[in-house]
Structure 1
């Protein structure tokens, strides 16, 4: 308990606002790596996932590549890419690793969200004369949003924890305190930095939970709540009764 109390005292100490790397700066760097990497991964993975879910093609390849990406040792890959890219491009090397780690969860969430939709809803859209693009944008994307947000949530939590290793190649972030603490055997500093990382993960997890609650359409593909049933879900005009 004394170590835990000392760790919290370390976090809230005025000394954390000064020094080589102030704590607020380290947090900002950590979040910048996290959000930047997840954003790049989303731009790559979401369109591919939607395409796989819509066409039903390439799912096996996506599953294989996702599993292979998850098996990569993050720290070893960062060091390898820094050596290949050069020290002047170590930021790009680290971000590349974080993007690779984020893609599998986002890709899985994107195509699983589309695949989970009741086929009768999509068939109804085609029967009404909707084009494939209209089906994708008006049916599959909104109704698959729940699982997509889940994929983004999983990717963000994985990346926010892994970004800690960026400090190993001198890129700052909250991992700076852990690497420094290991060298000086300052366990209070190590625990304090770890607590901050866990707190960031919990805050981000809560934000994604709120996003999932307010961004997902209330109408379910399995149980349309509108009076008009499936046509109302697809945005078709309703006959007055």
Structure 2
């Protein structure tokens, strides 16, 4: 009962935190896609570099989020951005790279060679093959990486409240500070619901843009 009472009495504040959370994670994912997808595509043409980039991305994933925030505070403090939105955004972009790059790289590499040959036979240029054949066929795997990165970032974004980034983590942080289990529970539940809803939305986008012949 306390859960529902708190939610109904603080609905506007919870909504404000949710909007902040979506803005942070949404911008981070957009930037990550703009970096990770082209990089993953390029790595299919350079196998030696691919191993190095994927290894670095894997190492980045092993760094605890609090530690990464701590590393960036003194670095970004030199430009007056040691805490707040910017370090949280950079951290989320870094954490997103492994699933997006790896899945894009794997998806493009796994396109059936016969399909590529057929595209060449039709006289398609390299860019046309990429946009009309390879990316559409790799779309399920690419979107799986984006979905993984997004759900991961929604969770990590809650921790970013400890460096003043706002979002739903602020609710959890305040609840811990005040020993208010209801606040913590509300924050955790809303984060979970947000992750589920966003994952379903991305799943819909994946189905919408995946060619019918290769849909699961």
* TM-score, L = length of structure 2: 0.91
**Distance in structure 2 (CA, Å) of the matches to 1:173 and 1:38:** 16
Which of 47, 62, 79 is the matching residue for 2:53?
Answer: 62
| Deviation of 1:167 (Å) | 1.1
| Deviation of 1:23 (Å) | 1.3
Which of 69, 72, 76 is the matching residue for 1:81?
Answer: 72
* Alignment match, 1:224: none
* Alignment match, 1:129: 123
**Distance in structure 2 (CA, Å) of the matches to 1:166 and 1:83:** 16
| Deviation of 1:35 (Å) | 0.5
Q: Which runs of 5+ in 1 are unaligned?
A: 222-241
How many residue pairs get aligned? The number is 211
1:219 aligned counterpart, secondary structure: helix
Which of 1, 11, 15 is the matching residue for 2:10?
Answer: 15
Q: Kindly report the root-mean-square deviation, in angstroms, between the aligned alpha carbons of the 2 structures.
A: 1.7
* Alignment match, 1:28: 19
Q: Which runs of 5+ in 2 are unaligned?
A: none
Equivalent residues of 1:82, 1:94 under 8 A apart:
no
Moved over 3 A (4+): none
Equivalent residues of 1:26, 1:172 under 8 A apart:
yes
Q: Say whether 1:110 aligns with 2:101.
A: no
1:115-174 deviation per Cα after TM superposition (whole angstroms, max 9, x unaligned) = 121111112222333222222122111111111111110000000010011210122111
**Distance in structure 2 (CA, Å) of the matches to 1:63 and 1:32:** 27
Q: Which has the larger radius of gyration?
A: 1
**Distance in structure 1 (CA, Å) of the matches to 2:197 and 2:119:** 39
* TM-score, L = length of structure 1: 0.82
Equivalent residues of 2:54, 2:101 under 8 A apart:
no
Equivalent residues of 1:81, 1:94 under 8 A apart:
no
| Deviation of 1:56 (Å) | 5.2
* Alignment match, 1:216: 210
**Distance in structure 2 (CA, Å) of the matches to 1:33 and 1:84:** 20
1:100-125 deviation per Cα after TM superposition (whole angstroms, max 9, x unaligned) = 00111111121111112111111222
